[in-house]
């Protein structure tokens, strides 16, 4: 079985689940609106530029988790998923996932977004394996710290290699789908890199390397934006 790896935000989703979690928190006044909104936007712009400090971002992102009882967080998350995530799950993404499922491939999401947010999204997409940045949890309470290595940029390769070792899998004939130049290390690591509605930097590099480029945002079907000869 080949491994089919998917980035999540702006790949399978028509938006960024991390950013939308911040939007959800501010809209409901669960955090200081002005401060959080400003920092959320700053980190998102840094991510787009490829200059984000993942540990600084995680400290920012995990603060509401650390300051809130777990049962309250779960209630917030259910509302967030219904209002912010369900509307941006792309029908063509479901088709792509189904294609790999029918091939008998092993399906895996690897994302820099934290596990608290992404685990239920992976379940919604029927993708059984997830590598995400892990918020540390002690005695049923989040600490605000990162547990282990964040799955961001080169960290995705480190985390993937650990996953491969424990799941007795390899990268033979592997696929990775992503929209972001932040994922270039992993795109260069797999057998079949695929750029999905790519940002300008990734689009340019994908064309230079003759990688497959597709869109999941042009209706219910996967649309090929180029084809290898």
Percent of the chain with pLDDT over 70: 99
- Given the structure tokens 């424990």, which residue do they identify? 166
- Given the structure tokens 């998917």, which residue do they identify? 6
Stated pTM of the model: 0.95
In angstroms, the CA 13 to CA 11 distance is 5
Percent of the chain with pLDDT over 90: 94
Rounded average pLDDT over 77-88: 99
Which CATH architecture describes the domain 3-224? Answer: 3-Layer(aba) Sandwich (3.40)
Q: What is the pLDDT of residues 102-119, one digit of tens each?
A: 999 999 999 999 999 999
Q: What is the pLDDT of residues 37-62, one digit of tens each?
A: 999 899 989 988 989 999 999 999 99
Is it the case that residue 227 has pLDDT exceeding 80? no
- The answer to whether residue 9 is catalytic is yes
Is it the case that residue 229 has pLDDT exceeding 50? no
Is it the case that residue 228 has pLDDT exceeding 60? no
Longest C-alpha distance within the chain, in Å?
55
Partnered with residue 213 across adjacent β-strands are: 195
**Alpha helix positions (H), the chain:** 17-27, 33-49, 54-66, 70-80, 91-103, 115-124, 154-167, 184-187, 200-208
In angstroms, the CA 46 to CA 4 distance is 28
- Given the structure tokens 């777990």, which residue do they identify? 70
Q: What is the pLDDT of residues 61-75, one digit of tens each?
A: 999 999 999 999 999
Beta-sheet strand order (sheet of 141-147): 141-147, 129-138, 106-114, 3-6, 175-178, 192-196, 212-215, 223-224
- CB contact at 8 A, 11 and 125: no
- Given the structure tokens 């792309």, which residue do they identify? 90
In angstroms, the CA 149 to CA 58 distance is 11
Q: What is the pLDDT of residues 120-168, one digit of tens each?
A: 999 999 999 999 999 999 999 999 999 999 999 999 999 999 999 999 9
- The answer to whether residue 183 is catalytic is no
pLDDT (0 to 100) of residue 1 = 86
pLDDT (0 to 100) of residue 48 = 86
pLDDT (0 to 100) of residue 28 = 97
Partnered with residue 166 across adjacent β-strands are: none
């Amino acid at each position: 079985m080949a491994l089919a790896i998917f980035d999540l935000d702006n790949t399978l989703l028509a938006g960024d689940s991390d950013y939308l979690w911040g939007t959800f928190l501010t809209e409901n006044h669960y955090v200081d609106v002005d401060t959080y909104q400003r920092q959320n936007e700053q980190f998102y712009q840094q991510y787009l530029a490829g200059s984000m400090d993942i540990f600084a971002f995680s400290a920012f992102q995990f603060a509401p988790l650390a300051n809130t009882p777990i049962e309250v967080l779960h209630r917030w998350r259910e509302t967030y998923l219904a209002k912010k995530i369900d509307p941006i799950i792309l029908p063509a993404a479901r088709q792509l996932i189904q294609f790999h499922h029918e091939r008998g491939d092993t399906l895996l999401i690897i994302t820099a977004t934290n596990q608290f947010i992404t685990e239920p999204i992976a379940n919604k997409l029927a993708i059984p394996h997830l590598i995400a940045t892990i918020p540390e949890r002690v005695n049923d309470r989040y600490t605000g710290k990162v547990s282990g290595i964040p799955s961001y940029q080169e960290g995705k390769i480190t985390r993937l290699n650990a996953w491969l070792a424990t799941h007795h899998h390899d990268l033979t004939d592997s696929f990775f789908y992503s929209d972001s130049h932040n994922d270039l290390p992993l795109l260069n690591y797999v057998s079949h890199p695929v750029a999905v509605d790519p940002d300008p930097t990734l689009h340019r590099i994908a064309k230079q390397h003759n990688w497959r480029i597709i869109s999941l945002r042009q209706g219910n079907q996967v649309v090929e934006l180029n084809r290898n000869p």
